[in-house]
């Protein structure tokens, strides 16, 4: 009996030591090591890729945001607009609408959105690209296609009192190509383009 109890105590103590060691390694050492490596090798990404203008954080280059008229839910014509977001660009509630491509609710919403985008940018509905009326899987995509950006140039230039040629030049400068020359699609980071646009407006 005593031998049995002694064995159980030894087993419990061994288990406790293993638990303590694993807790220290996986709960303290590993997270600190990963955090240290991330801060050293990928400092910008590890800290949210925050974008700062004149010492003030204006957003993250990894997370989309709305560009509306102050205190409204209406898009501001002065700025390039992002693709729609099912979560209101909230990084804590990411996700798509979960509606299928043939769902009547989605089709109706896309049709209405296409009409609004076409009217807002004074272009025919046939010129409105898919990303202008559909959200991304994450709902916080900070990028739009060059095609969507192009149909916004005329409206943005007029609202800011800038020549269209100047706005087109800014768009070209902020259009990223395919990764490695063949992966993915060209894209435009809306936040970075709008920051450049604001600077151009002050010039």
* Full-model pTM: 0.76
Eight-state DSSP code of residue 162: -
120 within 8 A of 77, measured Cβ to Cβ: yes
Q: What is the pLDDT of residue 42?
A: 52
| pLDDT value, residue 77 | 97
Q: Confirm if 172 and 125 have CB atoms less than 8 A apart.
A: no
Please give the Cα distance from 6 to 12 (Å, whole number).
10
Interatomic CA distance for residues 146 and 190, integer angstroms: 10
The confidence score (pLDDT) of residue 96 equals: 66
What are the pLDDT tens digits along the chain (203 aa)? 567 777 788 888 888 888 888 888 888 878 777 766 755 555 555 555 678 877 788 889 899 999 999 999 999 999 999 999 988 888 887 776 667 777 788 889 899 999 999 999 999 999 999 999 998 888 899 999 999 999 999 999 999 999 999 999 999 999 998 876 677 899 999 999 999 999 998 64
Q: Please, where are the H alpha helices in 25-53? A: 30-41, 43-46
Residue 141, SS3 per DSSP: coil
Cβ–Cβ under 8 Å, residues 147 and 185: no
3-state SS, residue 192: helix
């Amino acid at each position: 009996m005593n031998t049995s109890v002694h064995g159980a105590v030894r087993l419990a103590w061994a288990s406790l030591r293993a638990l303590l060691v694993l807790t220290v390694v996986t709960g303290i050492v590993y997270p600190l090591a990963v955090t240290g490596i991330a801060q050293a090798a990928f400092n910008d990404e590890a800290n949210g890729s925050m974008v700062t203008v004149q010492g003030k954080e204006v957003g993250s280059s990894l997370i989309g945001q709305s560009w509306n008229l102050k205190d409204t839910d209406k898009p501001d014509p002065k700025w390039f607009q992002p693709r729609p977001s099912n979560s209101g660009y909230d990084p804590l509630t990411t996700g798509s609408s979960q509606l299928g491509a043939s769902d009547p609710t989605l089709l109706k919403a896309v049709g209405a959105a296409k009409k609004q985008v076409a009217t807002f940018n004074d272009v025919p509905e046939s010129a409105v690209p898919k990303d202008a009326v559909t959200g991304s899987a994450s709902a916080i995509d900070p990028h739009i296609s060059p095609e969507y950006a192009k149909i916004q140039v005329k409206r943005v230039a007029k609202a800011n009192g800038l020549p269209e040629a100047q706005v087109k030049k800014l768009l070209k400068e902020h259009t990223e190509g395919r990764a490695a020359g063949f992966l993915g699609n060209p894209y435009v980071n809306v936040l970075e383009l709008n920051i450049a646009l604001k600077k151009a407006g002050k010039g």
